[in-house]
Chains A and B, each alone.
Chain A
Amino acid sequence: MSDTLSYLLMAWSDPQLLMLTALGTFAGIYIGAIPGLSVTMAVSILVSFTFSWDVNDALALIVGIFIGGVYGGSRSAILLNIPGAPSSVATAFDGYPLAQQGEAGRAIGLSTVMSVVGGIVGTIMLASAAPLIGELALRFAPRDYFLVAAIGLLLVGSLAEGSLAKGIFAAGLGAVIGLVGMDPVTAQGRFTLGQVELMGGIHYVVLMIGLFGVAEAFYQLHNLDSPVVRQKVDKILPSFAMVLKFLPLSIRTSIIGVIVGVLPGVGGDIAALMAYDHAKRTVKNPSRPFGKGAYEGLVAPETANSAAVGGAYVPMLTLGMPGDAVTAVIIGALVVHGLNPGPMLMVENPHIFYFTVGNLLLANVFLMIFGLMGIKLFAKFVEMPKAVLIPLILVLCVVGTYSINSSMTEVYWMLGFGVLGYLLKIFGFQMGPIILGAILGPLMDTSYRQAMSSAGDNPVELLQGLVTSPLSLILSAAVVLILLGNTPLLKKLKSKLSPASARG
């Protein structure tokens, strides 16, 4: 017990580890805030020069970058409607409208506090239920991944405002863009139009920057002459009553974040979108309508994407399987340091597990400190005259896109997606479903084909599997229920039942 406690407090008591965690968190926030600079990229670069370090020093820095980077994406999402990272796409839905109403300071303050809540819930779940959750993740068959992706894709129902058909079309378009490139099974080109350059596919961050950044820049040209909205930055820290009000929602969405984060290949981006959908479905009286600056729409994705970090560590530490791209890089780092991530890690090197738990908590403390700093400076950014801000947004989009793969072709694609996004926006299409399709389309394709292969290409056997396995049955039931919820059928059924019950 005393050993466990000393491992837990190791990062808190060692000045060097304390400093490295603080440095990592600080750098992570600013790396995450820049579109195109991903946490995965930052961690990959860092890992290469931490090989000669002590393993605890390396892990402390990486944990800080991870926690800070996931949170940092919310800054540009709130201020400029350009998500700094894919996990901040959902944050922009209500965060940006808040900034447009002069509440950028409060929005960033609330997102900071809620990110910390999510991070702490995620870490507690990692500490208390890691082996159990890890085992559950192992039970997921390809057909279950297909169902999880299907549940994710059904979120178009809440992301598409006005017309469900437009949402479905947008998700389909996103899926097609996501499928461009080499088929991972047969290496055959799909939607490449015979272009070799397209065989590598189109990175969905390129799509994201184009749809959110460039399209927004073009859209803002219509409001060029409207007065600049002054940001209220006097009340950055949300009141205790406000935090308490959103606590039940934040705990629910944190749990969603952990569960989604645990699943390999599914990370904070999908967790945040699912949490946003959950908030939209369950919160009956939001502070403002969703999509127009509802605090609930900011709280849900921010808690979920931070909680997903704790979730992503579960399969890594218990099974040696990466929960997402960042933990895959961390596994590599652990192996270089002579450790063997997997079921034996807890037996051979228990200190790594408890050290990581303590370190994640510490990084969340630093997140609270650094997250609440510099908000006034950031808020000034949106107070710039639009004639300066709009060209600057375009330059940032170019830099962000180029930094992904150092490819000018992707920069041209980004501009093209921006024009497409602008056109779609004119006719009432939402950008969220396109990104959702681009992320989930390839996942659905891969898991569908794996599931079909494991059923011997027999659809009947696949369908049998969906109802005979308890896990698949639960997920199938969720798909059916959400599908019904998206159609007028359930509303009709409810309206038929309610007068009857009222009479009874």
Chain B
Amino acid sequence: MNKTDKMLVGERTFCVLLVLTSLVVFYLAYQISGFSSINSPGAFPIGVALVMIFSAVKIGVELIGKAKPDCSGWLDAFQQFRDTHFPRRTLVFGLLAVAYLAAIQWVSFYVSTFLFLVLSIVYLRKGRVLNAILIAAVLLVLIYLLFSLAFSVYLP
């Protein structure tokens, strides 16, 4: 194992989550039909769950030789993880995406898509509202022409 390899912040916690997920999958697979027969509906899922458990443990074992990340304590590790992988930009865009999906059923596909495009473009470009409205309108027209008219796709 290469000692110079550094563990990523949160990698150990993620690995524990993988093992726990595999155990839950094993439990759910066992619930299907137990160990009733080698040919039961649950036989293959149990096999897959066992493979997942072994590979999750192996992923954990692979971490043993790695150097720990530069952080002091859980809180510092959490903050580093959040700042690196879930900065404000990612969180805001994620929330906009969730709000967009929720809004589709309330205010129709076209209205929600227009609002989502305008808001996310304005946020990601840090301004230029008129420009964003124009771009969103053009994209919406293209979506309508391509999906509704040309391919007759059912839109949400």
Binding site for B on A (CB under 8 A): 31, 34, 37, 163, 165-166, 168-169, 172-173, 175-176, 179, 183, 185-186, 188, 190-191, 193, 214, 218, 221-222, 224, 385-388, 390-392, 394-395, 398-399, 402-403, 406, 408, 411-412, 415, 419, 423, 426-428, 441, 444-445, 448-449, 452-453, 457, 459
B41 with A176: CB separation less than 8 A: no
Task: Across the interface, name the chain A residue whose C-beta is closest to B18.
Answer: A169
B59 with A165: CB separation less than 8 A: yes
Q: How far is the CA of A168 from the CA of B54 in the complex (A)?
A: 9
Q: How far is the CA of A406 from the CA of B155 in the complex (A)?
A: 8
Task: Across the interface, name the chain A residue whose C-beta is closest to B146.
Answer: A34
Taking a contact as CB atoms closer than 8 A, the residue among B38, B52, B105, B116 that contacts A395 in the complex is B116
Known: A387-B121, A388-B139, A445-B44. 8 other contacts (CB 8 A): A37-B151, A172-B51, A179-B44, A214-B97, A218-B94, A221-B124, A427-B11, A448-B43
Set of chain B residues within 8 Å of A391, measured between Cβ atoms: 93, 116-117, 120-121, 124
B55 with A172: CB separation less than 8 A: yes
Q: How far is the CA of A426 from the CA of B11 in the complex (A)?
A: 9
Nearest-neighbour CB distance to chain B for A72, whole angstroms, equals 12
Set of chain B residues within 8 Å of A412, measured between Cβ atoms: 101
Q: How far is the CA of A388 from the CA of B101 in the complex (A)?
A: 18
Set of chain A residues within 8 Å of B38, measured between Cβ atoms: 452, 457, 459
A221 with B121: CB separation less than 8 A: no
Nearest-neighbour CB distance to chain A for B12, whole angstroms, equals 11
Binding site for A on B (CB under 8 A): 8, 11, 14, 18, 22, 25, 28-29, 32-33, 37-39, 41-45, 48-49, 51-52, 55-56, 58-59, 62, 85, 89-90, 93-94, 97-98, 100-101, 104-105, 113, 116-117, 120-121, 124-125, 135, 139, 143, 146-147, 151, 153-156
Task: Across the interface, name the chain B residue whose C-beta is closest to A406.
Answer: B154
B45 with A179: CB separation less than 8 A: yes
Q: How far is the CA of A307 from the CA of B109 in the complex (A)?
A: 39
B151 with A172: CB separation less than 8 A: no
Task: Across the interface, name the chain A residue whose C-beta is closest to B105.
Answer: A408
Task: Across the interface, name the chain B residue whose C-beta is closest to A168.
Answer: B55
Taking a contact as CB atoms closer than 8 A, the residue among A166, A411, A452 that contacts B101 in the complex is A411
B55 with A399: CB separation less than 8 A: no
Set of chain A residues within 8 Å of B42, measured between Cβ atoms: 190
Most interface-central of B42, B44, B121 (chain A CB within 10 A):
B44
Set of chain B residues within 8 Å of A165, measured between Cβ atoms: 55-56, 58-59, 62
Set of chain A residues within 8 Å of B101, measured between Cβ atoms: 398, 408, 411-412, 415
Nearest-neighbour CB distance to chain B for A24, whole angstroms, equals 14
Taking a contact as CB atoms closer than 8 A, the residue among A173, A390, A395, A445 that contacts B93 in the complex is A390
Taking a contact as CB atoms closer than 8 A, the residue among A166, A175, A191, A415 that contacts B97 in the complex is A415
A399 with B117: CB separation less than 8 A: no
Set of chain A residues within 8 Å of B120, measured between Cβ atoms: 387, 390-391
Task: Across the interface, name the chain B residue whose C-beta is closest to A391.
Answer: B120
Nearest-neighbour CB distance to chain A for B104, whole angstroms, equals 7
A221 with B151: CB separation less than 8 A: no
Instruction: Knowing A392-B117, A402-B155, A457-B37, say if A172 contacts B93 (CB, 8 Å).
Output: no
A169 with B56: CB separation less than 8 A: yes
Nearest-neighbour CB distance to chain B for A447, whole angstroms, equals 10
Set of chain B residues within 8 Å of A392, measured between Cβ atoms: 117, 139
A218 with B32: CB separation less than 8 A: no
Instruction: Knowing A218-B94, A390-B93, A457-B38, say if A163 contacts B151 (CB, 8 Å).
Output: no
Set of chain A residues within 8 Å of B62, measured between Cβ atoms: 163, 165
Set of chain A residues within 8 Å of B14, measured between Cβ atoms: 423, 427
A185 with B41: CB separation less than 8 A: yes
Nearest-neighbour CB distance to chain A for B10, whole angstroms, equals 8
Q: How far is the CA of A388 from the CA of B151 in the complex (A)?
A: 24
B125 with A183: CB separation less than 8 A: no
A408 with B41: CB separation less than 8 A: no
Set of chain A residues within 8 Å of B146, measured between Cβ atoms: 34
A224 with B89: CB separation less than 8 A: yes
A402 with B124: CB separation less than 8 A: no
Instruction: Knowing A168-B55, A391-B121, A445-B44, say if A427 contacts B8 (CB, 8 Å).
Output: yes
